[in-house]
Chain A
Amino acid sequence: MTLTVALRHAFPGFTLDVAFEAPPGLTVLFGRSGSGKTTVVNAVAGLLRPQAGRVTVGPRVLCDTAARIWLPPHRRRMGYVFQEARLFPHLTVRQNLTYGRRFAPRGAAGAPFDAVIDMLGIAALLDRPPAALSGGEKSRVAIGRALLSAPELLLMDEPLAALDEARKDEILPYLERLRDETRVPILYVSHSVAEVARLATTVVLLQAGRVARIGPAAEVLADPAAAHAIGLREAGAVITARLIGQEDDGLSVLETSAGRLYLPRVDAARGTPLRVRIHAQDVILSRAAPVGLSALNVLPGVVEAVRLGEGPGALVQMRSGGDLILARLTRRSVQALGLAPGVECHAIVKTVSVGRGDIGGV
């Protein structure tokens, strides 16, 4: 099912004016704080009534100001995972999880209780009160509660923002499974590029209440024009790969469409498809095939686009096999190497520049 959103709402000093289509999978609303991400999600949820707009999920119209259609939140059949878990303090974990079930229409194809409990690893928590849970556990219960209400649309507003890195690593795999195992569209608010790189099928880049860029995650993240909005230090492409072996010295070998990648040990079964985020500032470009180099990963490719910055920097997008790679260089290097669209070159990526958080499931 596809979610379509068109909204216009003027606040004092800020106007939201967005229109986008979120195909099945996980769509990340990405942007700085104040760009209107949460406002969009609240309007989709019905918690904010837009001055003008139309929101549909598949054939269902949730809101259409022109046709005077407005479904209140409780009739929208959605699951909303808030930034704070918002668990009901007077109910046990089990009662929280089943809360939405009684309001779901009879015969609604909700996810089976046991399957959700298993996927989120919360079986041991069922009889506890929410106050006895850690932050990570609360987030997982909140996700489970939303899933079990048999939603036709999942909204997630920075569900990981309140958590430390260890807890994020604990939950990200669950979100990846959620994206791959449920068919409901997921609208996910984030300002973390790491989350976008790991989770997004589609990225909607918001800037000051407008859509600056929308497209498949791999395209948007490798787009030199979008890098500024994403944040130059954070910018970097995501390439897809498959784990093909584990070496004795602790390295894992991945196969990409352009060649092999040696990365720090990835704990996954052989054959597992993975997405790997390569930070633009960690990429070195070379015209000639480099020799006598300590870096293990050299991917050949062709320059697709060059974007010179206002300062000394530049961004180069390179196509390597079927994947796009983004490199952040100096304008001086771009000139010295004569980098321009169509030029063949090699991308050099140090193994240790790819961290554990940069590798996720597809």
Chain B
Amino acid sequence: MPSLLSPEEWQALVLSVKVGLVATLVSLPFAVGMAVLLARHAFPGKQIVNGLVYLPLVLPPVVTGYLLLLTFGRHGPVGALLERTFGIVFIFRWTGAALASAVMGFPLMVRAIRLAVEAVDPRLEQAASTLGASRGWVFLTVTLPLILPGILAGAILGFARALSEFGATITFVSNIPGQTQTLPLAIYSFLQVPGGDAAALRLVVISIVLAMAALIASEVLGARVARRIAGR
């Protein structure tokens, strides 16, 4: 592969995968928690929480990126706090690209996992509690195994979304090769310079292959969740 791609292109691909993996893995537990919360619990302000989760799906990505900049930038309330206490900096770093990707992929992950949670028969969880399992054990031994394919499908969707993230990333952390220049940003950059078409096209093909693979994997796993819950 390295011979097929220039070092710059290769760097963008590796960075994209790294950003996608970190964004997905770090946000996955939160997505599972949010999905269970939204699927199984009634609480005041649920509609607002629901709306906030899905907001990045409908907002222009540039708006999301700008809001991230305001919140997590050096002088943003959260960004300043994180830098002071943990030394974590998002702005102009690959961690910022991962944060932007995580925020953009979160609604898709929550949605896939929430559907899986809603497909679990609560009467099975009740049965587990009558057999002596506390809430935590019920979740670990009944709910989690039954929604596992849904979680995997959600993770793949989130990962694919991270690979395609553009607007929020460029607004939030700019377009810095080796730091925040993921595949879509690299394609954009190549298209801005004369003679960059060939490189852009190569990256386009790679993007299509990655996205298709993720979608197919998601479909296959989605079918498995249905089978598993039907007990076949």
Give the interface of A toward B (CB within 8 A): 45, 47, 72-80, 82, 84, 86-90, 99-100, 103-104, 129-131, 145-146, 149, 155
Q: Complex: how many Å from CA A78 to CA B126?
A: 13
Asked if B57 is at the interface (CB within 8 A of a chain A CB), the reply is no
Asked if B30 is at the interface (CB within 8 A of a chain A CB), the reply is no
Asked if B84 is at the interface (CB within 8 A of a chain A CB), the reply is no
Asked if B133 is at the interface (CB within 8 A of a chain A CB), the reply is yes
Contact of B123 with A89 in the complex, beta carbons under 8 Å? no
Contact of A88 with B142 in the complex, beta carbons under 8 Å? yes
Asked if B173 is at the interface (CB within 8 A of a chain A CB), the reply is no
Which 4 A-B residue pairs are closest in the complex by CB-CB distance? Answer: A103-B132, A89-B231, A100-B131, A131-B231
List the A residue with the shortest CB-CB distance to B132: A103
Query: Pick the contact of B130 from A74, A87, A88 — CB < 8 Å?
Result: A74
On chain A, the residues within 8 Å of B126 by CB distance are 47, 73, 86
26 inter-chain pairs at a CB distance below 8 angstroms, sorted by A residue, are A72-B134, A73-B126, A73-B130, A74-B130, A74-B131, A74-B132, A74-B133, A74-B134, A74-B137, A75-B132, A79-B130, A84-B123, A86-B121, A86-B123, A86-B126, A89-B229, A90-B146, A90-B228, A99-B141, A100-B132, A103-B134, A131-B230, A131-B232, A145-B131, A146-B130, A155-B130
Contact of A89 with B132 in the complex, beta carbons under 8 Å? no
Q: Complex: how many Å from CA A73 to CA B123?
A: 13
Contact of A89 with B230 in the complex, beta carbons under 8 Å? yes
On chain A, the residues within 8 Å of B131 by CB distance are 74, 79, 99-100, 103, 145-146, 149
On chain A, the residues within 8 Å of B127 by CB distance are 80, 82, 86, 88
Contact of B232 with A45 in the complex, beta carbons under 8 Å? no
Asked if B129 is at the interface (CB within 8 A of a chain A CB), the reply is yes
Known contacts A73-B129, A74-B129, A145-B131, A86 near B230 by CB under 8 Å:
no
Query: Pick the contact of B132 from A77, A84, A129, A155 — CB < 8 Å?
Result: A77
On chain B, the residues within 8 Å of A45 by CB distance are 130
**Chain B, interface SS category:** helix
* B 206-232 binary contact with A (CB < 8 Å = 1; else 0): 000000000000000000000011111
On chain B, the residues within 8 Å of A82 by CB distance are 123, 127
- Name the residue in B126, B128, B132, B133 with the highest tally of chain A Cβ atoms < 10 Å from its Cβ: B132
Q: Complex: how many Å from CA A145 to CA B137?
A: 17
Give the interface of B toward A (CB within 8 A): 121, 123-124, 126-135, 137-138, 141-142, 145-146, 228-232
On chain B, the residues within 8 Å of A100 by CB distance are 131-132
CB distance from A351 to the nearest CB of B (A): 44
On chain B, the residues within 8 Å of A75 by CB distance are 132
On chain B, the residues within 8 Å of A87 by CB distance are 231
CB distance from A42 to the nearest CB of B (A): 9
List the B residue with the shortest CB-CB distance to A90: B145
CB distance from B218 to the nearest CB of A (A): 20
Q: Complex: how many Å from CA A47 to CA B138?
A: 15
List the B residue with the shortest CB-CB distance to A82: B127
Q: Complex: how many Å from CA A61 to CA B232?
A: 41
Known contacts A74-B134, A103-B137, A86 near B124 by CB under 8 Å:
yes
On chain B, the residues within 8 Å of A77 by CB distance are 132
On chain A, the residues within 8 Å of B137 by CB distance are 74, 103
Query: Pick the contact of A89 from B129, B133, B134, B228 — CB < 8 Å?
Result: B228
On chain A, the residues within 8 Å of B228 by CB distance are 89-90
On chain A, the residues within 8 Å of B135 by CB distance are 74
Contact of B132 with A149 in the complex, beta carbons under 8 Å? yes
List the B residue with the shortest CB-CB distance to A42: B126
On chain B, the residues within 8 Å of A131 by CB distance are 230-232
Q: Complex: how many Å from CA A45 to CA B129?
A: 10
